[in-house]
Structure 1
Amino acid sequence: MDPTLTMFISLIATSGVFTVFLCMYAYIKRKETPSAYTFVIYTATQAIYIFAHAFEMSSDTIAEVKKWTMLEYIGIGAAPAIGLLIVMQYVGMNLTRTRVAALFVIPAITLVMVITNDYHHLFYKDMYFRENTPFLTTDIVIGQYYIVHGAYIFGCMLAAVVLLLRRWRQTKKAYRLQLVTLIMGQFMPMTGAFVYLMGLTPYGIDPVPMILCITSAMYIWAIVSTKMLTIIPIAKDRIFESMREGAIVLDFADRLVDTNGVITVMFPGFTTDMLGLTLDEIWIRLSGEPFPVARLEDGVQEEFSWRSAEGRECFYQIRSSVVRGRNGEPIGSLLMVIDVTEQKLLQDQLEQLAYYDGLTKLLNRSEFLRRSKMILEEDSSKQLTTCILLFDIDHFKHINDTYGHDVGDLAIQHVVKVSRRVEADAPGALIARYGGEEFVIALPDCSLDKAALLAEQIRAQLAAKEMNGSYGSIAITASFGLTQSSQRGESLQMLLKHADIALYQAKRAGRNQVRLYDGPLESPLDTPR
C-alpha cells in the first residue's frame, strides 16, 4: 500500500476511534446527559461514514467501492440532519415528531437512490478511478439527485451554524466555549465538503473524515473541560414559553414588550400583535375598560376578575417585579399572571359553609354574633345607637304539620325574600337566620323609630303577600321584637335577650305585629310560637 494512502487511512481510522469513543461516552452518560440518545446516534452515523470511507479508500475494484459507498451514505445522509437536530435541541426550539421526521425524508431518499443507482444513475452517472495518482482514488460523475442531496447537507450544516451564532449574545460567557465548539463542529465539516466539491483537495480525497478527527478531539476536550454534554444552557424563550403562569413584559411607559403563550389562553385576543400598546390600551380593546389593576410596586400582588367570552368569571392574581438594565436602573416591569379561579371558588365554598346558612344564604348565627359585636363596639365608641330586630314565622309548626317540611322550607325562603328588602333602606344592616324559623337583623347607627318603621314594612309586606304553589295559598305572617342599645353599654347578648322578650310580647298580644322592648316578661316560655 502506498505510504501516502496509509497515512490518510490512519488519520481516518484515528478519527473513527475518537468518534466511537464519543459515542460510547454519550451512551454511558445517557442518564445525566440531555439529548444523549440523539448524540449517540449522531456519533454512530459519523463512525459508520468514517470507517466505510477508510474501507472505500483501500478498495482496488469499483465493485468494492460501490459496496462501501452504500454503507458510507448511511452516515453521510443522516449525520448532518442529526447534527441540526442536536443544535435545535440545544437552543431550545420546539420540536414535534412531525418536524423531526421531516428532517430525515431527504436522507432516507438519498440512501435508497445510492443503493439502487445502477438501475437509474440519478445519483451518480459514472464511478471510476482517477488516473495519474500515486494510489487508487475514486471519482464520480454526478447525477441530478446528487445536487439535491448536496444542497440538503449544506443547508443542514449552515442552518445549524446560523442557529448557534444567533445564540451568541444570549449565551453567558461561561457557556460560550462550548458554543464555539458546537459552531466549529458544524462549520469545519461544511467547509471541508465545500473544498472537496470544488476539486481543491490533494488527489481528490474527501477531507471530511479527517476533519471529523479534529472536531471529535474538540468535543472530547469540551466534554472534559466544560462538561459540554452534561451542562446545557436553557434558552430564555424556552423557559418563557414553558411557564405555567402568564407573563407580560412592559417597558417603563407600561407599553407591551413581550408576552408568552399562556396569556393568549387566559385572555383570547391578547397577542404579540399588540406590541407597543400600553396595558390600558390593550385592555380597552379586550373588554372596553382600562386594566383593572393600577400600576403595581415591585413585589406587590393583587387580584382581579375577568369574564370570558363564554360568560365564565375567572379570577387572576397578578404579581409585579421590576426589570432592570445592565447598570441596575429600572427599565420596565414583569407581570406574572396566575389563574386562581379554582382556589377562589373553593374559598367561596368554604366561606359559604363557614359563614352562611345553606337554605337561606343568610349569615348563620355564629357569624352574625361575631359581626354584630364589632358593629356594637364601633357604634358605642362613636356614641351611636344600634337596633336589634328579632322575628319569627307565626304558626310555623302548623305549616310543617299540614303541608310538610318541604313547604316549610319554602315558607322560610319566602320570608327571607321579603325581609331582604330592608337592605336597600338600611345600608350596613346584617340579616341572619337565628334559628329554625327565627331571623335577626342588626341595624347600625339607627334610631328606634326608623327601626320600628322598617320592621312594620316587613311585617305588612309579609301579611299582604300570600305564598302560592301546588300546595295552594298560604298566608304567612311574622311577629317582631325590637330593642335599641343605650348609653349603659349593653352587651349583644343582653340586646338579643331584650329583643326576644319583645318578640314574645308580640306573640302574646296576638302575633303579626311589632313590639318594642319595654321591660322583662314574667314567663316567656308559656307563649307558643
Structure 2
Amino acid sequence: MGLAEFPVVVSFLSIFISIGMILYSLKYRKAENSYFFIFLSLQLFLYLFGYLLELTSVNVSEAFYGVRMQYMGFPFILPNSYLFLRDIFGHQKISKAQTTLLFIFPLITVISMQTYPFQKFFYENVQYVSNTIIANAQITPGPLYHIHVVYQYCVTVCILGLVFEAFFGDNPLMKKQSVPLLIGFFLPIVTSVAYVVAENEAVRFDYTPLATIVSIVMLVYSANNHNLLQVMPFVKDQVIDTMADGFIVFDTKQHYIDANAAAKRIFPELYQVNHGEVIPRLEQLLTNKQIIVTVDGMDCIYEVSQIQEITSFKQGGYYIVLHDITEKAQLLEELHTQASMDYLTDIYNRRAFFEKAEVLSQRNYHQKGNIALLLDIDNFKQINDRYGHPCGDKVLQVLSYEIRQNMQDFQHAVFGRYGGEEFSFLFTSISIEQAETIADAFRQKISEIEFTWINQKVGVTVSIGISVSTKEMDTSLEDLLLQADIALYEAKKKGRNQVCLYKNTQ
C-alpha cells in the first residue's frame, strides 16, 4: 500500500471502529446514559461512511451524495457530546427551550443540505475534483455554512469549558475523568483548524473524521474505566462516596463491583479487592440483619439493610447499605436500663425482676426446682421517722450494694427491689440447705455493718423468708413469692433478724 491510498484505508478503518462503537453502545443499552452513546455512534458512522463515499466517488453526484450523508450525522455530534458531558459532570439539566435552541441549528443545516440545489443558502456551488486516488466535493460556502461553522465552534468552546472546569476543579474523580476527554475533544479542533488554514490544494484529505474517531474512543475509554454509563460519577463521588452509610455493590454471582469510602472504612479488606473478585465476609452480610465490627478501635453496630436489586445493570447487580446504629443501640440500651433498673438502688425494679425471674424459672437448669427469697429491712419506718428519709435511702443503697456483691457468684439467679424496703431473689441452682445458709450468712453480715448517719449509729437488721418449688409441685412464680412472703411474716413474728423457711402448714 502506497501513501496515496492511505486516506482510503484510514477511512475504512474508521468505519470499522464506528461499527464497534455502535455494538458497544447497544451492549449497554439499558445503562443510565447509554442513549448518548447510541446516538453518537450512529451519527459518527453516518459521518465517516459519507466521507468514504466522497473520497471514492467518480462524479459530482456521488461526491455530493457522500457529503449529504456526512451531514446527516456530523451536525449533531457536538451538541450530543455537550449534553453528555453536562450529565456526567453533574450540571443541572438544561430546559426544553435551551435544548431546542441547541439542536435548531443542526436541524437547519441538515434541511439546507438535503434541499440543495433547490436553494443555495448553505452551499452556493459544488464541484467535483479528483487526483485519481481520492476525490472531493469542492464547495463554495453560502451564508448558512458560515453560521454553521460559528455554531460548531461555539459548542466546542462550551465543551472545552466543561472539561477544563473539571480538570482544574477540586474534585479528584472529575479531574481524572477530564484528562482523556480533554485529549479527545481538543484533537478534532486542531485537525479542523489545520485543514482550514492549510494550503488550498484541489484535492485534500480531511483528518477531522479520524480525529473525531479518537474523540469517541477516548469517550469509550472513560465510560469503560470510570463507569460513566452505569452510574453518574459526580453523584457517586459527591453523594454515595460521602455517605456515612457503607454502600457495597456486587453482581448476581456475588462478585465485587464497587464500594464507597464508608464501606471500605468498615471493611478495610475491600481496598485489596478488585472488580469481579469475591467480597470478603459477604456471606455474613447476607445472613445477618446486624453486625458488630471494630472500626478505628471501637466496636460499632451496623444495621444491614435488605439487599436491593439494581435493574439498570444489564448483567444484573445488587447493593447492600450498612447503617451505623451504634448510638441508637446505646440509647435504646440506656432507655431499657432506665425502664428496668430501680433509680435509687441500681438493681432490677419489680417489673424487671418478674420478667427475668419468669424466664429463669422456665429454663429448669437442674432437678432442684426454684427457690425464692424475700428480704425485708426490720423497723424501716422507725429509721425513716427518727433519722429522716435521706437516711432511709442511704440504708437501701448500702443494702443493695451488699446484695450485688454477694450475688456475683450465682449465675442462675436474679434479684431486685420488690417494693419499699423489700428485696426479692430467685435461685435455680442451689439446694434448700444452701439457700438457708446463704440467707443466714447474709442476715448476719447486715447486722454487723456499722452504719452511721450524722455521727449517729444506726442499727440495721433484716428478716428473710424462703420458699421452695420442685418440678413435681409446679408452683408458679407468684405463688412462690407469696409463700416466701408468708415465711417472712413468720420471721417477723419470731422477733425479726431471722430466716424462716415456708412450710405447708403455714
Alignment TM-score, normalising by the size of structure 2: 0.53
Find the counterpart in structure 2 of residue 439 from structure 1: 423
Find the counterpart in structure 1 of residue 92 from structure 2: 35
Find the counterpart in structure 2 of residue 515 from structure 1: 500
SS in 2 for 1:434: strand
The 5 A counterparts of 1:201-220 are none
State the distance in 2 between where 1:243 and 1:423 align.
47
Query: Does 2:178 match 1:159?
Result: no
Letter in 1 for 2:92: S
Find the counterpart in structure 2 of residue 234 from structure 1: 231
SS in 2 for 1:357: coil
The 5 A counterparts of 1:15-54 are 35-37=92-94
SS in 1 for 2:241: helix
Q: Deviations over 1:127-158 (max 9, x none)?
A: xxxxxxxxxxxxxxxxxxxxxxxxxxxx9785
Candidates 308, 332, 353, aligned match of 1:347: 332
State the distance in 2 between where 1:420 and 1:259 align.
48
State the distance in 1 between where 2:373 and 2:162 align.
82
The 5 A counterparts of 1:31-180 are 35-37=92-94, 77-82=157-162, 98=170, 158-160=180-182
Distance 1:299 1:388, change over 3 A: same
State the distance in 2 between where 1:473 and 1:410 align.
13
SS in 2 for 1:483: strand
Shift of 1:449: 0.7
Shift of 1:462: 2.2
- Asked whether the 8 Å contact 2:372–2:466 carries over to 1, the reply is yes
SS in 2 for 1:425: coil
Distance 1:82 1:312, change over 3 A: closer
SS in 1 for 2:419: coil
- Asked whether the 8 Å contact 2:374–2:424 carries over to 1, the reply is yes
Letter in 2 for 1:349: E
Distance 1:389 1:274, change over 3 A: same
Find the counterpart in structure 1 of residue 246 from structure 2: 246
CA RMSD of aligned residues (A): 5.9
State the distance in 2 between where 1:337 and 1:197 align.
58
State the distance in 1 between where 2:300 and 2:482 align.
44
Candidates 352, 364, 369, aligned match of 1:367: 352
Distance 1:233 1:469, change over 3 A: farther
Letter in 2 for 1:440: S
State the distance in 1 between where 2:232 and 2:331 align.
37
The 5 A counterparts of 1:127-526 are 158-160=180-182, 186=185, 189-190=188-189, 192-193=191-192, 195-196=194-195, 199=198, 233-235=230-232, 238=236, 241=241, 244-247=244-247, 259-263=259-263, 270=268, 274=272, 296=283, 299-306=286-293, 313-318=299-304, 336-379=321-364, 383-467=367-451, 474-486=458-470, 487-518=472-503
Q: Deviations over 1:460-519 (max 9, x none)?
A: 332233345767654433211111114333222222111111112222233222221235
Shift of 1:320: 9.5
State the distance in 2 between where 1:374 and 1:409 align.
30
State the distance in 2 between where 1:518 and 1:425 align.
28
Letter in 1 for 2:336: E
Find the counterpart in structure 2 of residue 169 from structure 1: none
State the distance in 1 between where 2:196 and 2:328 align.
65
Aligned residue pair count = 362
State the distance in 1 between where 2:169 and 2:457 align.
70
Distance 1:195 1:474, change over 3 A: farther
Q: Deviations over 1:55-102 (max 9, x none)?
A: xx999xxxxxxxxx99999876554122566xx7xxxxxx996459x9
Distance 1:458 1:336, change over 3 A: farther
State the distance in 1 between where 2:291 and 2:453 align.
42
Q: Deviations over 1:284-341 (max 9, x none)?
A: xxxxxxx9xx8736731153445665x8653223579799xxxxx9xx9987533111
Shift of 1:398: 2.9
Shift of 1:454: 1.6
Distance 1:340 1:96, change over 3 A: farther
Find the counterpart in structure 1 of residue 222 from structure 2: none
Q: Deviations over 1:164-218 (max 9, x none)?
A: xxxxxxxxxxxxxxxxxxxxxx48844643643882676999x99x99xx99xx9
Distance 1:304 1:157, change over 3 A: closer
State the distance in 2 between where 1:241 and 1:349 align.
32
State the distance in 2 between where 1:37 and 1:315 align.
43
Identity of aligned residues (%): 24
Letter in 1 for 2:351: S
State the distance in 2 between where 1:375 and 1:410 align.
30
SS in 1 for 2:423: strand
Alignment TM-score, normalising by the size of structure 1: 0.51
